Amino acid sequence: MRDALPLVWREIPERYNLIGSICENCKKEFFPQRVICPNCRRKGHLVPKKMPDEGKIYSFTEVHAAAKGFENETPYMLAIIELTNGVRILSHIVDSPGEKINFGIPVKAVFRKIFSDGDEGIIAYGFKFKIID
């Protein structure tokens, strides 16, 4: 009997929370979680840390030629988000028309469908960002 993939997927904390790492040695924060600190190169000194769910748009682009699995969503906005702690992550921008998206605009993480597996019918959820009104 195979594991229930949706159950396994739901048990991955990084999928539903912005869980990154903080290095106990140099105090730098990272997302996603790391085993070795990219800043001071220390191993074993990184501990999980919940990242802030707000930030601002650092950079963005409108995607017309999507990666496999996202073809039906084009065009969509993809942005580098600088969280309030300075960590930068890549995410979709949702619920916002493209003309409202600009550098420095404040955004907040929201829970959304990421993709669905057509063969198995499995729907994966996670975080995306939307403009704070």
Instruction: Say what percent of the chain tops pLDDT 90.
Output: 52
Domain ranges of the chain: 53-133
Spatial contact of 52 and 82, defined as CB atoms under 8 Å apart: no
- To the question of pTM greater than 0.85 for the whole model, the response is no
Q: Using 50, 70 and 90 to split pLDDT, how confident is the model at 1?
A: very low
Q: How far is 129 from 88, CA to CA, in rounded Å? A: 13
Mean pLDDT of the chain: 85
* 11-39: pLDDT as tens digits: 566 666 789 999 999 999 999 889 899 99
pLDDT band at 98 (very low <50, low <70, confident <90, very high): confident
